[in-house]
Amino acid sequence: MISNIQQQKGFMLVASMFLMVVVALLLVFLLRTGSENQWSSALRIQEARAFQSANSGLEWAVHQLGSGVCPASPTTLNLSEADLTGFQVIITCSASSYTENTETITMFEVEVLAQKGIFGTSPDFVARQIRLTVEGP
């Protein structure tokens, strides 16, 4: 009977080591998944801010078109309001005219690019582009 007990010495050590390794791997997996979700959530917020920045640039450009001419192209706006601080908005505008019956109609093509950070160097780089065609007065 003693020899049987001596043969089983150390079995619990191997089982507990295996259990510790499994628990450690599970913790690493959970921590990694949690941090990826947090990073993904932060990027979605930045994407929404980029969209709002581009939208504000588009509204500015459409307001400028009220006079019947494109604003200087390209125009760069550096936003500094609340959550949009640090966004750069680049607005380009081009006009083309055509004649329908006896009336000349001007079409304006407005393109807005809002970005924050530098592509390839900033881990939180985000950009959004919006294009709009407007019939002029």
Rounded CA-CA distance 61/51 in Å is 15
Domain extent listing, the chain: 2-135
Q: What is the pLDDT of residue 22?
A: 86
pLDDT score for 129: 94
DSSP bridge pairs for 112 = 91, 130
Helical (H) or strand (E) element with 95: strand 88-100
CA–CA distances in Å: residue 58 to residues 38, 71, 78: 31, 12, 14
Portion of the chain with pLDDT greater than 90, in percent: 23
Weakly modelled stretches of the chain, pLDDT under 50:
none
The tens digit of pLDDT for each residue in 83-108 reads 788 899 999 999 888 888 888 888 99
The pLDDT of residue 109: 93
pLDDT for position 51 = 92
pLDDT at residue number 92: 93
Claim: this prediction has a pTM higher than 0.85: no
